[in-house]
Amino acid sequence: MIAANYVYKVAKPDGLTLGGIRSGLYFDQLVGRKEVQFDWRKFTWLGTPTQVEQLVYIRANSPYKSIHDVRKAAVPPKCGASGTASTGYYTANLLEETIGAKFITLTGYKDGPEVELAVEREEVHCRGISVETCSGVNR
């Protein structure tokens, strides 16, 4: 957020400043967070250093055994996320918009490890995460 605000408001538009800004920050503007001082539409995308796949995992002892169970659930599963720009937030929302799966996304966790603890403590059922990050979680 700090980098995006800096590039947008402070850096000279002379082509000499590049920002590696997380794509999920786009959602902070969409939800109207007061900290946003940039207009995402005015950034120019140059490229992506990696291709990252996203997933949502759900605790094995939850009543949700498949995405079909999530879609049919009277009570949606609760997923944890650090904020509106996090993978956990936007992956669940993307599944809602595309296939009608409903999730209750609880934001405000400090970081990914805190969300992992919430899953372990059974405060939440699930987490949206990148495959890249997930492979590092279980090492």
State pLDDT tens for residues 20-40: 887 778 778 878 889 999 998
80 band by pLDDT with thresholds 50, 70 and 90: very high
139 band by pLDDT with thresholds 50, 70 and 90: very low
Residues 43-64 have a mean pLDDT of 85
Report pLDDT for 49: 73
Q: Residue ranges per domain, the chain?
A: 2-11+20-42, 54-137
Quick one: CATH architecture of 54-137? 3-Layer(aba) Sandwich (3.40)
CA-closest candidate to residue 104, choices 121, 87, 118, 88: 88
The bridge status of strand 78-80 relative to strand 104-106 is parallel
- According to the 3-state scheme, what is the secondary structure of 93-118? HHHHHHHCCCCEEECCCCCHHHHHHH
